[in-house]
Amino acid sequence: MKARGVKEGTSTCASSSVIEQTVHKTTAVMPSDSISQTDFSTDFRVLRDGNKLAQMEEPSLLPGESMKDMAKDVTYICPFTGTVRGTLTVTSYRLYFKSLERDPPFVLDDVRTIRFAHKQEGHTRRSIFENLMKYAFPISNNLPLFAYDYCEIFPEDGWKVYDPIAEYKRMGLPNESWKLSKINDNYELCDTYPAILVVPVNVPEDELKKVAAFRSRNRIPVISWIHPESQATITRCSQPLVGMSGKRSKDDEKYLQIIMDSNAQSHKIFIFDARPSVNAVANKAKGGGYESEDAYQNAELVFLDIHNIHVMRESLRKLKEIVYPDIEESRWLSNLESTHWLEHIKLILAGALRIADKVESGKTSVVVHCSDGWDRTAQLTSLAMLMLDSYYRTIRGFEVLVEKEWLSFGHRFQLRVGHGDKNHTDADRSPVFLQFVDSVWQMIRQFPTAFEFNEFFLVTILDHLYSCLFGTFLLNSEQQRVKEGLQKSTISLWAYINSQLEEFINPLYVNCYNHVLYPVASMRHLELWIGYYIRWNPRMRPQEPIHQRYKELLGKRAELQKKVEELQREVSNRSASSSEKAGSPSRSVTPIQTVI
């Protein structure tokens, strides 16, 4: 596994200590297959002689990629191996550094900060820097992202992976209590929701509109998942607009009552508010708030204590500090604790666990929301669904899960990731999706046989979350994507992934339907995801012998199975020719000692 797949960068360009400017989210990316090519291409020794530099090979370009600038004699200051001299190339898509002294080309990633010292004359330097700024942050420079230029062709259309109607049908929807509604067909009810929504059968459109008016950004409670047996549901929404005065909405109360009634197994409904109760209270001042148990009969409100996007961003910043470039050996654990990163993961997992438990063991329907219902809510519903439904643990199922709970329900990827935007201190950025994937990784570690995909699958998704090579994670909502015609002008990440599934398959996978997974949300089991956060440190490079070993075993098994089949076919052919005399086939149960 070439874990050095694809990189996105936070790079610092230092040139002769004159210009030092922080560049964030450099779109310097190579898909993992092409990196191995470049690995090979650099195998030949480049002469150190400066005159021959011109003969050096250019990076192999992706379809649609073009070279923009090149600087020679650049020094890359690698924190692990010291300085390396080489050539820096800026293309329309990536920053490419080719070393003169070492084999692997350097590529940029999201947890690294890269320093280039540039020795050359001012002119070249400026031009390279300008080009870098221009193509690293195309949005800030009014240029399209590279995803729109990228034109590689894959056998499968990744945009077809998620079909909401098929997915709801898989869940058994619509049924007698729930219907598919077209009320949001033109994104008029709620511009951050998908076109197709599943709502209770008996609620007329005007009442839905009244409910929408009482929910922040019109994000009404709609179905995320329904239990195939108990009909208990997970519904998601945003906070109610209670405000300081404690406003109530009869329609909203009635609506939740209908949701509760659609599940005959329970006479209760749980409302999970992802926020700490303090934050929920504070939201009242801004017109938001939470459901009071007085107003909502039979509802129980639970706060899950998950902090807001700013706290999470800060936590990731601290985490980056302790893993790059150096890891303080003896203080590692307390440093890790001080980032609170794992503690946040723990709370998210614990919240999802409580939701899954209520739905599965309690057969009770739940409503999940945070403030707007597109960050923490998405984390919680998608993780709970992953625990409850084994379909989402397959590769395609997981793609559907991301498409459904994250993309179609309007997680604001562009704002949270900041694609192509140079303002890296933007307060809207937050590693919400990263935390979700990290939580999934924690689950994979606890249940190594329950997921069809492997760690590399998750890493690849995260790399392309930042890469802008594929259209999947661009923009903020389904409405925007439709408007921009993203499906026509870009390629979906799933096309790339589904075209090379063997890379992402977990050899240990056992398909167990109906298994509910209850991960343990304790610090005793949670671990920092070394294979993602510290993968650039050559010391911590992942060791893959276990999976390698499994693949060998599986290969051996397949080979033997084939052999057995062949032999049996051969034997049955023979016996068929001689079966006339052989008599009843049941004979073969007791093997006859005949040597041929």
Backbone angles phi, psi at 253, to 5 degrees: -60, -45
The answer to the question of whether 494 is labelled as a binding residue is no
The answer to the question of whether 308 is labelled as a binding residue is yes
Structure tokens at 489: 């002008």
264 vs 282 by CB, closer to another protein:
282
- Catalytic: which of 237, 370, 468, 512? 370
The answer to the question of whether 375 is labelled as a binding residue is yes
CB atoms within 10 A of CB 334: 10
How far, in Å, CA of 463 to CA of 467, rounded? 6
How far, in Å, CA of 450 to CA of 393, rounded? 7
- Give the footprint of another protein on residues 81-110 (CB under 8 A): none
Using alpha carbons only, give the angle 46, 47, 48 rounded to the nearest 5 degrees. Answer: 115
Question: Among residues 98, 236, 275, 429, which is the contact residue for another protein, using CB under 8 A?
Answer: 275
Size of the site for another protein (CB under 8 A): 107
Work out how close the CB of 95 gets to another protein at its nearest, in angstroms, rounded to a whole number: 24
The answer to the question of whether 389 is labelled as a binding residue is no
- Give the footprint of another protein on residues 534-553 (CB under 8 A): 534, 538-541, 543, 545-546, 549-550, 553
The answer to the question of whether 428 is labelled as a binding residue is no
- Give the footprint of another protein on residues 126-145 (CB under 8 A): none
Question: Among residues 517, 532, 535, 536, which is the contact residue for another protein, using CB under 8 A?
Answer: 517
DSSP state letter for 328: -
Work out how close the CB of 497 gets to another protein at its nearest, in angstroms, rounded to a whole number: 24
Question: Among residues 528, 532, 535, 536, which is the contact residue for another protein, using CB under 8 A?
Answer: 528
Phi-psi region of 298 (alpha: psi -120 to 50; beta: other; left: phi over 0): left
Sequence-distant contacts of 258-261: CB under 8 A, at least 24 apart: 258/200, 258/202, 258/203, 259/200, 259/221, 259/233, 259/235, 259/365, 259/367, 260/298, 260/299, 260/365
Catalytic site includes residue 512: no
The answer to the question of whether 439 is labelled as a binding residue is no
β-pair type (67-78, 113-118): antiparallel
Work out how close the CB of 504 gets to another protein at its nearest, in angstroms, rounded to a whole number: 18
Say whether residue 588 binds another protein (CB under 8 A).
yes
- Give the footprint of another protein on residues 395-434 (CB under 8 A): 427, 430
How far, in Å, CA of 297 to CA of 129, rounded? 62
- Give the footprint of another protein on residues 309-328 (CB under 8 A): 309-311, 314, 327-328
Residues 333-352 vs another protein: string with x where CB under 8 A?
xxxxx--x-xx--x---x--
157 vs 328 by CB, closer to another protein:
328
Indicate the residue type of 592. I
Say whether residue 593 binds another protein (CB under 8 A).
yes
Question: Among residues 154, 505, 516, 542, which is the contact residue for another protein, using CB under 8 A?
Answer: 516
Could you give the residue ranges of the DSSP H alpha helices within 191-249? 205-214
348-366 residues labelled b (16+ CB within 10 A) or e (exposed): bbbbbbbbbbbbbebbbbb
Using alpha carbons only, give the angle 427, 429, 435 rounded to the nearest 5 degrees. Answer: 130
Range in contact with another protein (rule: CB under 8 A) among 61-69, 91-99, 300-308, 497-505: 300-308
The answer to the question of whether 488 is labelled as a binding residue is no
Say whether residue 371 binds another protein (CB under 8 A).
yes
Range in contact with another protein (rule: CB under 8 A) among 53-61, 87-95, 235-243, 392-400: 235-243
Say whether residue 241 binds another protein (CB under 8 A).
yes
Say whether residue 1 binds another protein (CB under 8 A).
no
Using alpha carbons only, give the angle 491, 159, 178 rounded to the nearest 5 degrees. Answer: 155
Indicate the residue type of 438. D
Handedness of CA 186, 189, 195, 200 (dihedral sign): negative
Question: Among residues 66, 292, 298, 449, which is the contact residue for another protein, using CB under 8 A?
Answer: 449
The answer to the question of whether 489 is labelled as a binding residue is no
CB atoms within 10 A of CB 420: 23
Mind telling me the catalytic residues? Answer: 370
Binding residues: 283-286, 308-309, 370-376
Annotated binding-site members for substrate: 283-286, 308-309, 370-376
